[in-house]
A and B are shown apart, each in its own frame.
Chain A
Amino acid sequence: MICQECNQRPAALHFTKIINGEKTEVQLCEKCAQEKGEMFIFNSETGFAFNNLLAGLLNIDPAFQKPSQSPFHQEEILQCEHCSMTFPQFLKIGRFGCAQCYETFKEQLNPVLKRLHSGNWTHNGKIPKRIGGGLHLRKQIEELKNDLRNSISQEEFEKAAEIRDEIRTLEKKLAGSNKGGE
């Protein structure tokens, strides 16, 4: 077999690339393989738009794949009220139409966010001043304290300990934000 790059030397390297289920066989001689070496690392990204990937992620989501109850039952297509983007449309382009879409497609979105951001799906960073970081944190702490009381009354001590730790971190954060912000 002859190298497909220089068409001169015999091919020494044979490998198969699979991109989006599409198979490509590659035959290269050692020299060309070395020259292309660094290209191969990056080439996997070209011709492979992000939204394909995203659509893939969403489609394998079991919640989304659930077959409709009966063949006569037409499933409602989710549509954003503000910008009228539909969920299939979002899958196709991989971009939202407006800020409201995050609320509209919340249920489909959370599992995807977890996958995109290695398990995270809630914001843990900067908060615009007008929203007031302190207020938001205090609210969260209040809710957790309620949970804590419930857990203790139901003798779920392991869970209670977890919640207690969470409250501590939030309180620390609250103290920090008060110092920094105000």
Chain B
Amino acid sequence: MSLERFLKTAVSSWMSEEGPDSDIVLSSRIRLARNFEDYKFPTLFSHEDAKMIIVNMEDTIRKSDFQKFGQIELLKIDELQPLQKRVLVEKHLISPHLAEDSPYGAVLLTENEEVSIMINEEDHIRIQCLFPGLQLSEALDAANEIDDWLESNIQYAFDEKHGYLTSCPTNVGTGLRASVMMHLPGLILTQQINRIIPAINQLGLVVRGIYGEGSEALGNIFQISNQITLGKSEEDIGNDLKGVVSQLISQERSAREALRKTSNIQLEDRIFRSLGVLANSRIIESKEAARCLSDVRLGIDMGFIEELPKTILNELMILTQPGFLQQYAGGPLRPHERDIRRAALIRERLKMEQEK
């Protein structure tokens, strides 16, 4: 497959489109957890329950003509190849939990991959909307629309006091997890991040690395999300997160300006060295690739590099993950082979831009 064609099929809209504040906010995500009233939660449900839930969901799609998000496709987890699952995880369309520990799992995907609905994960239904840039309220509106549409066919588990009932009590109430992925190299370089993260935690928000719980902040990318789901309205949860994110944006911008003033030539040197590594290396580990991509993206945002598109960081961060590399190669690769492939893919992608 040519790289160009591969990119066309591999890149979801949130990776290639630019949204508001997209120099710092890569994407905004809303997730709603919902359950059927009549079936046991996935922790205890039987094979039959699981099948009925999938049948119900298929019915819902077929019955109602919900065209707003285009064609919807259903994928069953047990019918996917390990590599295909991994790619979906790397694109943030399904969770590692659905891919690995949910034998009766399935996912509904829209064409542009902005909406994915996980079935039989920790909860029966998890609606997810993933938008480029800072678009929390837009994503929330979309998720609510899908929620209303599903609700017209499904009896949700809901009680007036506890709200939407979820398998885990940390999600009960709104079932809402709002999260924002941010690129914060300025705060790292000026070493402010270690001071900021505890402050964010105190506000009931969680900071994580790019691939969720327990993951490292690869490429200076952080995920910030709400912890509290009960007692606040959906709008308030979104607005509280947005407030903190806006502050982080302005802190990151002033950190970048400070860097420009105090160590302009060092910064420029760092950025172009990283570009050099990406454009020329023959072997590159994911950690080094992430670091260099972050530098290059910073260089683009700060105007040092003009010939590359901004979205190259989002795109290559995802495409150089092990699952994607192997899909592009057409088969499994050992770690060392991956590092070679990764270097080749990045070189080729940068060359594509030059030829444009």
Contacts and interface: CB of A to CB of B under 8 A. Distances in A.
A102 B165 contact: yes
B163 A123 contact: yes
Contact of B156 (A41, A96, A128): A128
Contacts of B214: 42-43, 45-46
Contacts of B37: 99
A129 B176 contact: no
Given A98-B41, A129-B148, A112 B161 contact: no
Given A39-B216, A83-B44, A99 B231 contact: no
Interface string B220-255: 000000001111111001000000000000000000
Interface residues of A, number: 42
A96 B167 contact: yes
Interface string B189-224: 000011001000000100111000111110000000
Contacts of A82: 40
Contacts, number: 135
A108 to B, nearest CB: 10
A14 B233 CA distance: 44
Interface string A40-62: 01110110001000100000000
A167 B32 CA distance: 29
Interface in A41-92: 41-43, 45-46, 50, 54, 82-83, 85
Given A117-B231, A118-B228, A85 B169 contact: no
Contacts of A38: 188, 193, 216-217
B170 A131 contact: no
B134 interface: no
Contacts of A50: 168, 170
A165 B197 CA distance: 36
Contacts of B194: 37, 41
B157 interface: yes
Nearest to B36: A99
A121 B173 CA distance: 9
B64 interface: no
What is the predominant secondary structure among interface residues of chain B facing chain A?
loop
B176 A122 contact: no
B173 A117 contact: yes
A6 interface: no
What is the predominant secondary structure among interface residues of chain A facing chain B?
loop
B160 interface: yes
B215 A42 contact: yes
B172 A97 contact: no
A146 interface: no
A2 B231 CA distance: 51
B172 A102 contact: yes
Contacts of A144: none
Nearest to A117: B230
B234 A126 contact: yes
A109 B35 CA distance: 19
Given A45-B213, A109-B169, A128-B158, A118 B204 contact: yes
Given A39-B216, A96-B169, A102 B41 contact: no
B151 interface: yes
Given A38-B216, A125-B232, 16 more contacts: A38-B217, A41-B197, A45-B208, A95-B122, A98-B39, A116-B230, A117-B228, A121-B230, A121-B231, A123-B161, A123-B164, A124-B231, A125-B173, A126-B164, A127-B158, A131-B160
6 contacts: A38-B193, A42-B209, A95-B168, A97-B40, A122-B231, A129-B151
Interface of B: 35, 37, 39-41, 43-44, 122, 144, 147-148, 151, 155-170, 172-174, 176, 188, 193-194, 197, 204, 207-209, 213-217, 228-234, 237
Interface of A: 37-39, 41-43, 45-46, 50, 54, 82-83, 85, 93-99, 102-103, 109, 112-113, 116-131, 136
- Nearest first, the 8 closest Cβ-Cβ pairs linking A and B are A120-B231, A123-B163, A99-B157, A46-B214, A117-B230, A125-B174, A97-B44, A45-B214
